[in-house]
C-alpha cells in the first residue's frame, strides 16, 4: 500500500474512533433517536437525487436501512446516553465481528475455525475486564445496549452479503432514507414531543457540528474512501487497519472527556483487539509465518569458478524464481 493511502486509511479509522466521542457531545442536547434520525436524513438527502439506485432488491435496501440506522446507531446512541463511555462503546461494538461469524455459520452454514473460537475466547476475557471497571464509565444498561447494537451490525452485514451489491456507497445512501422516519417515530413514542421541543430550544453549535461530523467525514466520506481502498488493494491489506478504531475511540474519549485510561481498560483493549486479530486473521498470520520459514535462502549471487569469476546468472535466476521475485521483478 502506498504511504499516502496508508495514511488515508489510518485517518479514516481515527475519524471512526473519534465519532463515538462526537456522538456523546451531540447527546448533551439532542435525544438519541432524533440524533440518529437527523444523521441519516442528511446521509440520504440530497445525495439520493444524484446517485443512481443500486441494482439491489428494495427489500434489502429497506431492511439494511432499518437495521443499520435503528438497530445499530439508534441503540448505540441510547447506550452512550445510558452511561457507557464513548471509548468503551467503541471497543464493545467490535464484538460485531464475532456476532457476524456466528450469524454467518447459522445463515450461510459457514464453518467456524479454531482460530475464530480462540479469538472469541480472548475477546470475552476482554469483556470480563470491561465489566470489572468501576470508575463510572461502564453501566450495565449501556453495555447491554451497545452489545445489542453490535448484534444489529452483524445482522446488517448478513443483509449486505445477501444483497450481493458491488455499489456499496449507493447502497448506503439509498438505505439511509429508510432510517429517519422510524427513528423520529420511536422518539415520539418514548418521549412524546419533549425531544423535539428541546431540539428547537437547546440546539447549539456543538450539536450541529456533532451531526455534521457524523454525516460527512464519518459516514459518507469515511465509507467512500474505505470502499475505494478495498477496490484498489486486497481486503487482507486494508481490513486489519480497522483494529485501530477502538484505540482511537479510547484515545478520543480520554482527550475530550478526560476519561481515565485505567489498567483494566488497557487490558480490555489489548484482549479484544488481540481476539479480533486471532479470530479474523489468525490463519493468515500463521500461514505467512510458515511460508516465510520454508522460503529458500539465497546467500550470494557470486559463484566461484576455477576459470571464471563472473556471476552465475542461471543460479541467481533460479533462486529469484523460488523466492517469488520473478517474473515481475518486484516484491508484492
Tens of pLDDT along the chain (332 residues) come to 899 999 999 999 999 999 999 999 999 999 999 999 999 999 999 999 999 999 999 999 999 999 999 999 999 999 999 999 999 999 999 999 899 889 988 988 888 889 899 999 999 999 999 998 988 899 999 999 999 999 999 999 999 999 988 899 999 999 999 999 999 999 999 999 999 998 988 889 999 999 999 999 999 999 999 988 988 888 778 888 888 999 999 999 999 999 999 999 999 999 999 999 898 888 777 777 777 666 555 544 444 444 444 444 444 444 434 434 333 443 33
Q: Write out the residue range of the structural domain in which residue 318 sits.
A: 297-332
Number of domains in the chain: 2
Please, what's the largest Cα pairwise distance for the chain?
Answer: 96
Q: Are residues 178 and 305 in the same domain?
A: no
Which of these three, 261, 278, 309, is where a domain ends?
Answer: 261
**Pairwise CA distance, residues 262 & 134, whole Å:** 10
Please tell me whether residues 319 and 218 are part of one structural domain.
Answer: no
Q: CA 147 to CA 127: how far, in whole Å?
A: 10
Q: Domain for residue 284, yes or no? A: no
Would you tell me how many other CB atoms lie within 10 Å of the CB of residue 33?
A: 27
* One domain, residues 231 and 311: no
Q: Which residue among 214, 236, 261 closes a domain? A: 261
Q: Is residue 125 part of a domain?
A: no
Residue 38 located in a structural domain:
yes
Task: Assess if residue 275 is contained within a domain.
Answer: no
Together in a domain, 238 and 310: no
b/e map of 273-298 (b: 16 or more CB within 10 Å)?
Answer: bbbbbbbbbbeeeeeeeeeeeeeeee
Is the domain of 202 the same as that of 320? Answer: no
In a domain, 276, yes or no: no
Burial classification of residue 270, based on how many CB atoms lie within 10 Å of its CB (0-12 exposed, 13-18 middle, 19 or more buried): middle
Please indicate, yes or no, if residue 80 is contained in any of the structural domains.
Answer: yes
Same domain, 109 and 221: yes
**Rounded distance, CA 277 to CA 146, Å?**
21
Q: How far is it, in rounded angstroms, from Cα 24 to Cα 200?
A: 19
Integer Cα distance of 137 and 258 in angstroms? 11
User: Is 252 in the same domain as 308?
Assistant: no
Amino acid at each position: 500500500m502506498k504511504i499516502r493511502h496508508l495514511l488515508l486509511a489510518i485517518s479514516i479509522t481515527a475519524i471512526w474512533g473519534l465519532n463515538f466521542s462526537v456522538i456523546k457531545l451531540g447527546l448533551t442536547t439532542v435525544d438519541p433517536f432524533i440524533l440518529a434520525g437527523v444523521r441519516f436524513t442528511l446521509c440520504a438527502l440530497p445525495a439520493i437525487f444524484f446517485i443512481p439506485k443500486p441494482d439491489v432488491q428494495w427489500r434489502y435496501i429497506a431492511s439494511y436501512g432499518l437495521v443499520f440506522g435503528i438497530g445499530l446507531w439508534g441503540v448505540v446512541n441510547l447506550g452512550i446516553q445510558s452511561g457507557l463511555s464513548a471509548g468503551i462503546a467503541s471497543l464493545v461494538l467490535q464484538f460485531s465481528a464475532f456476532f457476524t461469524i456466528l450469524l454467518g455459520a447459522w445463515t450461510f452454514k459457514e464453518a467456524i475455525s479454531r482460530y475464530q473460537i480462540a479469538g472469541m475466547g480472548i475477546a470475552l476475557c476482554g469483556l470480563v475486564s470491561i465489566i470489572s471497571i468501576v470508575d463510572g464509565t461502564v453501566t450495565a444498561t449501556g453495555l447491554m445496549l451497545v452489545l445489542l447494537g453490535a448484534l444489529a451490525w452483524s445482522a446488517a452485514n448478513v443483509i449486505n452479503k445477501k444483497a450481493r451489491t458491488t455499489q456499496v456507497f449507493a447502497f448506503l445512501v439509498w438505505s439511509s432514507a429508510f432510517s429517519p422516519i422510524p427513528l423520529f417515530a420511536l422518539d415520539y413514542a418514548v418521549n412524546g414531543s419533549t425531544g423535539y421541543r428541546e431540539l428547537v430550544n437547546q440546539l447549539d453549535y456543538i450539536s450541529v457540528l456533532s451531526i455534521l461530523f457524523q454525516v460527512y467525514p464519518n459516514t459518507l466520506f469515511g465509507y467512500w474512501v474505505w470502499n475505494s481502498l478495498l477496490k484498489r488493494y486486497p481486503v487482507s491489506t486494508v481490513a486489519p487497519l480497522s483494529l485501530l478504531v477502538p484505540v482511537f475511540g479510547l484515545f478520543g474519549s480520554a482527550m475530550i472527556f478526560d476519561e481515565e485510561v485505567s489498567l483494566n481498560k488497557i487490558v480490555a483493549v489489548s484482549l479484544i483487539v488481540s481476539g479480533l486479530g486471532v479470530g479474523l486473521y489468525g490463519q493468515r498470520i500463521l500461514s505467512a509465518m510458515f511460508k516465510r520459514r520454508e522460503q529458500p535462502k539465497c546467500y550470494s549471487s557470486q559463484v566461484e569458478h576455477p576459470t571464471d569469476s563472473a556471476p552465475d546468472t542461471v543460479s541467481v535466476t533460479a533462486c529469484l524464481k523460488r523466492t517469488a521475485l520473478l517474473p515481475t521483478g518486484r516484491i508484492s
